[in-house]
Structure 1
Amino acid sequence: MTTIPERSPQQYDVGGLMLPRPFKIRRLGHLGLNMERLDEAITFYCDALGFRVTDQLDVLSQVPEEARPFVKDILTDPRLTFTTHNSDHHALVLAHKTFGTLWGNDRKVKDITFSQLTFQVGSLQEVVEAEAYLKERGVEIGHYGRDMPGSNWEIYAYDPDDNMIELYYGIEQIGWQRKSKPYGMHYRGLMDVMPSLPQMSEAAEVREALAKGIDIDSGHHPSEEHLDETYVVGGVLLPRPFKVTGVGPVSLFTERMDEMIAFYTGMLGFEVVEEVELHGRRIVYFRTGTEHHTFALADKALRGILGLSEHTSCLSIGLQVGSYTQLRDTAKYLMDRGYTLVHGLPQEIYVGIDYAVHLKDPDGHLVCLYYYMEQIGWDGKPRPRSERRDMVLPWPETLEPVSDTYGGTAYLGPLG
């Protein structure tokens, strides 16, 4: 007879599995950046890299009239621009740098330019229970509820460096019509109200909106008429010779390495995959799924050594493209349009990735474009360093596959 051990009081039922937390992070969902050069940033991420605008919100329209003079004094530009590369309502949110001041992103230090780092959990119940779990353990909570636009149920909390971390369940999906939910459906949003359970389904929300007479086809539709589809990408005509198929990983500089490791592993449940040393300083890689890493932490002393922007604690933002051929074509495409690539960066800052293209966005955030991410198997161990691919210059036209080539999550939906 099998003896069932007594359950630890630190175990929680998450979908029928007993876990040490009442939630399980599944993936990096999206990020937000506060930009000094907002218009240039929108052009860079949308026209150059292929994101599309799904919604644009005027923050002033969302605050009570009596608070608008205060908000106007802080904000240089009140726009929140939501963009995506897939069917998620947003993968990258762009706002003016003064939005960080309004929202409190830079309340302690001025080099936090992320407005949020957002991780997806598996259910609305996990979001609700995460709020109580984190609060009981002394984690400072920002706000919670349901954000509009995007329709994602969420809780925001601060990490030890004061980065805003969002845990969310579900996000509005935008289909073949490329239309977001209309503003009239935003009545289902909640600000600083933890939802009672259960909540109605998305299908029920649509039925309710129709019953209210809301035109569900009146949402934002991106203007893409200026884009010429002249490049053949995997048999499809696209405006660029590549397609961004994934956002992440994100790498951050920190001066509180041990505190940050404890927070992300102990509080949020990430696993340390690998640690490397560069110029005598630590870089630590974390995962939550099968990819080598979801994000990384690097000693902030490396920022100056690497010659990266002193204005941001962001080391790099990863963007995955669909193939090695696309990555080669990406480099040429960007250089032909006057963008300067960053060469000579050490492999230690992008372990688990082999060939990569680096460049800086208009505010100096380092963007890492790549095609391959090492996959972690059932035993949780990364590939030995001696068995990783050696990169050579000039880049070869084709590569021999490795055991986990094209082994990650497939891109869902058509390329364009």
Structure 2
Amino acid sequence: MTTPTPGTSGTSGTSGTEPARYDVGGVLLPRPFKIRRFGHFGFNSDHLDESIAFYTDLLGFRVTDEVSLLDQVPPELRSLVEGVVTDPRMIFTSNSSDHHALLLAHRTFGTVNGNDRIAKDITLSQITWQVGTLQEVHDAEEYLRAKGVEFGRVGRDMPGGNWHIYFRDPDDNMVELYYGMEQVGWSRNSKPHAMHYRGFDDRPPLPQMSEAAEVREALDKGIDIHSGWRPAESHLAETHDVGGILLPRPFKVTKLGPVSVFTERMDEMVTYYTELLGFEHVEESAYRGKRIVFLRNGTEHHSFVLADKALRGMLGLSEHSSCLSMGMEVGSYRQLRAAVEFLQSHGHTLVEGIPPELYAGIDYAAHLRDPDGHLVCLYYYMEQVGWDGRPRPSSERRTVTGTWPDALEPLSDTYVDQTYMGPLG
């Protein structure tokens, strides 16, 4: 088979019958990119201030930037946007060194962004997946356009500095592939707005300068590189011992995902995410006769779940959103137990009756609603899939008891996923 050169479209075999393959960092793959992990997401909220408090004060995300949508649109469109948007704030929050993991904006931001142009229950402003290089973002655009995918934006957003392409899936969810998220360091200062001149509103030429070169250029321009946003968290008392570190709450969200969504186009969505974007089909389950499909892009059992939308009403979940749940992993089983007690003591009623068929590969989990009714799934463990790509048989999974034990016996893959890299606080 002819090997394509780096950065170019794949070529089929000489017989013309073999599928195209692409050189991705020296490895031949079925598409010119490889999704490495779930990166971040956005919620469009009717209760923006309450949602900010919920995700920051309660769950521990920190605000890394705040901008106005009115400052992000061309001057000729400002009056039009003002007539639609109730609250123009865009709040960037993070649970790690990534500039943002969760973008919060008003529900009317979704209207301007086109999130609800077809389906009024899309409250996810974006579902974002990270690839390994800028070259992959560049090549993914050509590949997806050739497949007839409908595109949104292409370029590099500020704040955050991530190079990206935005496009739509069969349910009209906005999907993003990106490379190069800004990292926020020990001082908690994000990149100053004066450095946002390095944003792009269209396809950037390659190669681009490095982040280190951008900093040198900013210094040469006389920009104070330490003048970026810094979160104000002095109102939070650090009284909980979390593995030897005092934090404002007895747990730390150490990983984002999996994403679970409802769909009425199951076959289309499965085909789109597996054949076009390269997710692996892990397994399927059913609840009350309705189909649930688990997909992965790494070694975790699943990073994306598709569930029959008929289940939404059966489970009594909010009809306003097609998002079933957003997973958030905490650092340990002890932290998960402590999180349950903490949330209940702060007046939050946990959502009971979410069937385990919706989160196969996770054992103990707790569910709660945010101020808009979005479901958050807190968990401590995700089954790992080995070299042969097979999940653990359901008969060998841990049995979850109604009364949670004080401690658990370890499984073969307990605490084997990558540890949280930064300090907990």
TM-score using structure 2 length = 0.96
Q: Does 1:16 align with 2:23?
A: no
**Distance in structure 2 (CA, Å) of the matches to 1:63 and 1:392:** 52
* Deviation beyond 3 Å, 4+ runs, structure 1: 3-9
SS at match of 1:100: helix
State the match for 2:334 in structure 1: 325
**Distance in structure 2 (CA, Å) of the matches to 1:298 and 1:65:** 41
Q: Give unpaired runs (5+ residues) of structure 1.
A: none
Q: Give unpaired runs (5+ residues) of structure 2.
A: 4-11
State the match for 1:247 in structure 2: 256
How much has 1:344 moved relative to structure 2?
2.0
Amino acid of the structure 2 residue aligned with 1:338: G
SS at match of 2:127: strand
State the match for 1:98 in structure 2: 108
State the match for 1:52 in structure 2: 62
SS at match of 1:379: coil
C-alpha distance after superposition, 1:355-378 (max 9, x if no partner): 001000000011000000000000
Q: Does 1:145 align with 2:155?
A: yes
How much has 1:9 moved relative to structure 2?
5.8
Residues matched between the structures, number: 413
CA contact (8 A) 2:129 2:176 kept: yes
State the match for 2:406 in structure 1: 397
**Distance in structure 2 (CA, Å) of the matches to 1:398 and 1:62:** 50
State the match for 1:380 in structure 2: 389
Amino acid of the structure 2 residue aligned with 1:103: N
State the match for 2:8 in structure 1: none
State the match for 2:182 in structure 1: 172
Task: Compare 315-324 and 66-75 and name the one that shifted more.
Answer: 66-75
How much has 1:120 moved relative to structure 2?
0.1
- 201, 213, 216: which one pairs with 2:222? 213
State the match for 2:7 in structure 1: none
SS at match of 1:74: coil
How much has 1:156 moved relative to structure 2?
0.3
Amino acid of the structure 1 residue aligned with 2:58: A
Q: Does 1:121 align with 2:96?
A: no
- 339, 353, 358: which one pairs with 1:344? 353
Q: Does 1:80 align with 2:98?
A: no
CA contact (8 A) 2:19 2:30 kept: no
State the match for 2:120 in structure 1: 110
State the match for 1:293 in structure 2: 302
Matched ranges for 1:261-300 at <5 A: 261-300=270-309
**Distance in structure 2 (CA, Å) of the matches to 1:39 and 1:76:** 13
Amino acid of the structure 1 residue aligned with 2:386: G
Q: Does 1:71 align with 2:81?
A: yes
**Distance in structure 2 (CA, Å) of the matches to 1:190 and 1:246:** 29
- 216, 223, 235: which one pairs with 1:226? 235
How much has 1:393 moved relative to structure 2?
2.2
C-alpha distance after superposition, 1:248-296 (max 9, x if no partner): 0010000000000110001100011010011111000000000000010
How much has 1:6 moved relative to structure 2?
5.0
How much has 1:66 moved relative to structure 2?
2.5
**Distance in structure 1 (CA, Å) of the matches to 2:106 and 2:149:** 27
How much has 1:65 moved relative to structure 2?
2.5
How much has 1:69 moved relative to structure 2?
1.0
State the match for 2:45 in structure 1: 35
**Distance in structure 2 (CA, Å) of the matches to 1:152 and 1:345:** 35
SS at match of 1:190: coil
Percent identity between the two aligned chains: 66
TM-score using structure 1 length = 0.98
**Distance in structure 1 (CA, Å) of the matches to 2:77 and 2:169:** 28
What CA RMSD, in Å, does the superposition of the two structures yield over aligned residues? 1.2
Amino acid of the structure 1 residue aligned with 2:53: T
**Distance in structure 2 (CA, Å) of the matches to 1:244 and 1:155:** 27
State the match for 1:361 in structure 2: 370
Q: Does 1:184 align with 2:204?
A: no
**Distance in structure 2 (CA, Å) of the matches to 1:379 and 1:52:** 38
Amino acid of the structure 2 residue aligned with 1:238: L
**Distance in structure 2 (CA, Å) of the matches to 1:62 and 1:384:** 49
**Distance in structure 2 (CA, Å) of the matches to 1:355 and 1:375:** 15
